């Protein structure tokens, strides 16, 4: 299972710069979805503040999921 940006299929990596609502953030942490129906969440950081969003907010998705057939 891999987390990739939907538009480019490039892998999401810790430290990537992303934009949410026109504001810049840095990818801080992400984990695999906890159940098959979950899209998963990602933690981003800005100005020392950590925020958690669903991966779709940054235009990402999990591919090659073993938990979905």
Q: Would residue 61 count as lying in a domain?
A: no
Q: Would residue 40 count as lying in a domain?
A: yes
pLDDT of residue 66: 82
In the predicted structure, residue 64 carries a pLDDT above the cut 70: yes
Torsion sign over Cα 14, 52, 18, 24: negative
Determine the structural domain holding residue 46 and report its residue range.
2-55
In the predicted structure, residue 67 carries a pLDDT above the cut 90: no
pLDDT of residue 69: 67
Read off the tokens for 25. 């953030």
**Tens-digit pLDDT profile for residues 20-57:** 999 999 999 999 898 888 899 999 999 989 999 999 99
pLDDT of residue 8: 97
Residues with Cβ within 8 Å of 47's Cβ and at least 6 positions away in sequence, in order, are none
Model pTM score: 0.88
Q: Would residue 28 count as lying in a domain?
A: yes
Q: Would residue 12 count as lying in a domain?
A: yes
Q: Would residue 69 count as lying in a domain?
A: no
User: Which one, of 42, 47, 33, 52, lies nearest residue 13 by Cα?
Assistant: 42
Q: State the first-to-last Cα distance of the chain, in angstroms, to the nearest integer.
A: 12
| HSE, side-chain direction, 13 A CA sphere, residue 68 | 13
Q: Would residue 24 count as lying in a domain?
A: yes
Number of structural domains (the chain) is 1
Q: Would residue 67 count as lying in a domain?
A: no
């Amino acid at each position: 299972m891999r987390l990739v940006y939907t538009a480019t299929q490039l892998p999401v990596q810790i430290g990537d710069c992303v934009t949410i609502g026109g504001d810049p953030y840095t990818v801080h942490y992400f984990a695999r979805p906890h159940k098959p129906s979950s899209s998963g969440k990602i933690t981003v950081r800005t100005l020392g503040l950590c925020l958690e969003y669903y991966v779709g907010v940054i235009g990402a998705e999990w591919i090659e999921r073993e938990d979905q057939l």
